[in-house]
Amino acid sequence: MLPLTLTVTSLAALPAAAARLQAAIAEARCSVVAFEGEMGAGKTTLIRALAAALGVADDVSSPTFALVNEYRDARNTPIYHFDFYRIDSIAEAERMGAAEYLDSGYLCLVEWPARVAALLPVPHLEVRIQVLPNETREIELKIIN
């Protein structure tokens, strides 16, 4: 199944894409999922749809200033959502305990992962979102070894 490319042509198609992403995460057996894409590509929107598929009841929003949000899935298992856009250095990420979160074995959803690439475990699942014309998104899923 992996690598896999999904095409999302509207917000209405997002739940089906999130379900496919959920299955890919299970198949990959990677607890860290790195979301790559330009500003406004839909990283947080896709994470919100994935969280809904996982049974998260909380409001899912980008942890831009907090750096990490914790949610609970339908089984009350933690899910960590990171946004490293505003991180100044790997050292700052280490001070906030990013390595411990990423090594916890719990699902970690990471926006702007290139800023903390040295902390990402191998393997991890990469989700690359590309913006196409007419609000379409192409989502590429692959395991990074």
- Using a 10 angstrom Cβ sphere, with 0-12 exposed, 13-18 middle and 19 or more buried, the burial of residue 91 is exposed
Residue (of 87, 109, 101, 102) closest to 43 by Cα position: 109
CB 37 within 8 A of CB 132: no
What average pLDDT does the chain have?
95
| 130-121-103 Cα angle (round to 5) | 120
Q: What is the pLDDT of residue 1?
A: 75
Mean pLDDT over 96-105 rounds to 96
Residue (of 110, 112, 114) closest to 102 by Cα position: 110
Q: Which residue(s) pair with 33 in the sheet?
A: 109, 125
SS3 (DSSP) at 139: strand
Q: What is the pLDDT of residue 83?
A: 95
In this predicted model, what pLDDT tens digit does every residue of 50-88 receive, in sequence order? 999 999 999 999 887 788 999 999 999 999 999 999 998
DSSP H or E segment with residue 26:
helix 14-28
Residues 6+ positions from 133 with CB-CB distance below 8 Å? none
Instruction: Give strand ranges (E) for 14-94.
Output: 32-36, 68-72, 78-83
Placement of tokens 């990423």 in the chain: 102
Pairwise CA distance, residues 119 & 60, whole Å: 24
SS3 (DSSP) at 19: helix
